[in-house]
Amino acid sequence: MTYVSQGLIQATDYNGFVSTNVGANVNATWNSTYGQGALLTVNPAATVSATEWSTLNTTIAAMATHQGSGTTITTRTGPTSGSLISIQSALSSDIGNCYTNRFNAASSGAQYTAYTGTSYVTASVVGHKNTTWTITFTDTLTFANTTAATNFFGAGGLVKIQFNKSSTGHSADVTWNNFVTSLCGAVYFTADATSKTIAATSYNGTKVIGGTGTPSILGTAIGYNQLNGGAQTIYKQFNTQYVYTGDYVQIDASVSGAVVTFTTYWFSPARNVAGTTNEISGGTATSGISFGSSPATVLTYFPPSLTGPITNTWGTPTVASSVSSPTY
């Protein structure tokens, strides 16, 4: 490596900063993570132009801006045509810093709340006396292709899953209403297991915001990059109220091609306690994130913010929701 003070700057030095240095290269973040146009390398025997150096500097600044205050880089001005190009200090470390913080984002885009299908149960009663029952909610997040999915999550996209129920009239309604609206919080799913900050909130893979309960399973080590074809449990919360401590809400996540699937189970086991039954009631429908009174699980998302600036390379992923008939 010849990129040192008083040394002769070679095209291979520039190419390393663009794409060949492991980790500390611009394209590993700008192109592979965010999906932005890759910077091109130059012929090793050629001269690197002032324009190419300026583009490199501008791109580093754009990455840092997108990532927010957690990424600090050196202020520098790109060379101009005809001037002598001198060593730019901390170039490699700045690029490496952007790579380390590549999943950070200064802000989020507007919440997407449209979905097709059904996210709620309106049956007059769920459960038969003291028998086991399960409601299964399935939400799919579909991208144009796997690259779009990688860019969505890599640039700071967030999935949010919420629960709601307020209907009354059956024995277990009060406990389930409190369980899903107070004990459970909102579940957020991110790009990767690594620590990151998005819109001033810290995340790992999966995070719960709000709720008074402590999940028995929380997939902090599972983000989009850790998904595979099999279902992985990213969240499981048990009820804490006496008699109903076997009840739980669980979310499993998986990916197949460009489709990420989140399957949520509301489960109540058989019990035989005098004065109680497992029955809960349905209610009015949910629309978007305007909840009715029915048992409901709603998936929405926050796309990456177009700051930096970066451009939308992930399109508009679609959400489809369905609910199985309660099983006993």
**Residue range(s) defining the domain that contains residue 38:** 11-100
Q: CA-CA distances (angstroms) from residue 150 to 220, 227, 260, 319, 326? A: 19, 12, 11, 17, 34
* pLDDT per residue rounded down to tens, the chain (328 residues): 455 544 456 788 899 999 999 888 999 999 999 999 999 999 988 888 888 988 999 999 999 999 999 999 998 776 666 665 666 778 999 999 999 999 999 999 999 999 999 999 988 888 777 889 999 999 999 999 999 999 999 999 999 999 999 999 998 999 999 999 999 999 999 999 999 999 999 999 999 999 999 999 999 999 999 999 899 999 999 999 988 999 999 999 999 999 999 999 999 998 877 767 889 999 999 999 999 999 999 999 999 999 888 999 999 999 999 999 777 6
Secondary structure class of 181 (helix, strand, coil): helix
Length of the chain: 328
Q: Are residues 72 and 139 in the same domain?
A: no
Q: Are residues 152 and 65 in the same domain?
A: no
DSSP 11-68: HHHHHIIIIISSSSSHHHHHTTTT-PPPPPP--TTSPPPHHHHHHHHHHHHHHHHHH-
Q: Are residues 40 and 169 in the same domain?
A: no
Q: Are residues 218 and 267 in the same domain?
A: yes
Q: Are residues 165 and 287 in the same domain?
A: yes
Secondary structure class of 232 (helix, strand, coil): strand
Q: Are residues 268 and 310 in the same domain?
A: yes
Cα 71 to Cα 66: distance, rounded to the nearest angstrom: 9
In a domain, 4, yes or no: no
Q: Which of 76, 100, 124 is the last residue of a domain?
A: 100
DSSP 64-108: HHHH-TT----------TTSPP---TTHHHHHHHHHHTTT-BS-B
Q: Are residues 80 and 149 in the same domain?
A: no
In a domain, 6, yes or no: no
Of residues 87, 86, 60, the one with CA closest to residue 74: 60
Q: Are residues 157 and 92 in the same domain?
A: no
Q: Are residues 254 and 123 in the same domain?
A: yes
Count of structural domains, the chain: 2
Mention every residue, 6+ apart, whose C-beta is less than 8 A from residue 23. 96, 99, 100
